[in-house]
Chains A and B, each alone.
Chain A
Amino acid sequence: KAGVTQTPRYLIKTRGQQVTLSCSPISGHRSVSWYQQTPGQGLQFLFEYFSETQRNKGNFPGRFSGRQFSNSRSEMNVSTLELGDSALYLCASSLTGFSGELFFGEGSRLTVL
């Protein structure tokens, strides 16, 4: 069974640019969550999608957005990048989205220069 796939794995952007990250969940999983990991901050919840609807949202500015497609694949977008957006962005999927037992991808490492 294929795991959660995130692309790209690494990317470098400059301030002011925008970026789109992609996540393919485990087949059959309908819930996709996104987390930001930075040193000293742990993992911080960005948002969660279930059946193409955003169910939960974390405390991030509106520059962070996401969406989910009918095949459960998800994308997140960050516009007007800032240096502080440099982080590991982790996507996680689960079957129903109610258990907390998430399957994480390896992450997309974003560096903003």
Chain B
Amino acid sequence: DQQVKQNSPSLSVQEGRISILNCDYTNSMFDYFLWYKKYPAEGPTFLISISSIKDKNEDGRFTVFLNKSAKHLSLHIVPSQPGDSAVYFCAAMSGATNKLIFGTGTLLAVQP
């Protein structure tokens, strides 16, 4: 049972345009959500997070939106840069724990 789903295995966008990565979850107990970025041959690196009490969190070019009623979150990257090309994982957790439930990832390719 996949509690966190990323239904798009890949996404291709032009440099300078917006990248939108989507994530759906099923467990209503999740109260904290995170996005990680992974380059080949490297471990994932933390990108941005959002608490369930918020609906938006912004950090530079990266913004995460949370729609609790739809159990949906999205990551917006504006403007997209070639260096953003990587696999993006969304993750969720409940309570004060480091047990993260990850999605299967979306491969983002930003074309110059």
How far does the alpha carbon of A35 sit from the alpha carbon of B36 in the complex, in Å?
Answer: 14
Assuming the contacts A41-B104, A56-B99, A94-B98, asked whether A101 and B34 have C-beta atoms less than 8 A apart, the reply is yes
Q: Is A61 interfacial (CB-CB < 8 Å)?
A: no
Total residue contacts A-B, CB cutoff 8 A: 69
Tell me if B99 and A42 are in contact (CB < 8 A).
no
Q: Report which residue of A41, A42, A90, A103 has the largest number of chain B beta carbons within 10 angstroms of its beta carbon.
A: A42
| Among B11-19, B42-50, B58-66, B70-78, the stretch in contact with A | B42-50
How many chain B residues touch A (CB < 8 A): the figure is 24
From DSSP, what is the main secondary structure of chain B's interface residues? loop
List of B residues within 8 angstroms of A105 by Cβ: 43
Tell me if B89 and A98 are in contact (CB < 8 A).
no
Partner pick for B99 among A45, A103, A106, CB 8 A cutoff: A45
Tell me if B43 and A107 are in contact (CB < 8 A).
yes
Q: Which parts of A82-101 form the interface with B (CB within 8 Å)?
A: 90, 92, 94, 97-101
Residues of B within 8 A of A (CB): 6, 32, 34, 36, 41-46, 49, 89, 91, 93, 96-105
A-B contact pairs, 25 of them (CB 8 A): A33-B98, A35-B100, A35-B102, A40-B104, A42-B89, A42-B103, A42-B104, A43-B100, A45-B101, A48-B97, A48-B99, A55-B98, A56-B99, A90-B43, A92-B43, A97-B98, A100-B32, A100-B93, A102-B44, A102-B98, A103-B46, A104-B44, A105-B43, A106-B41, A106-B43
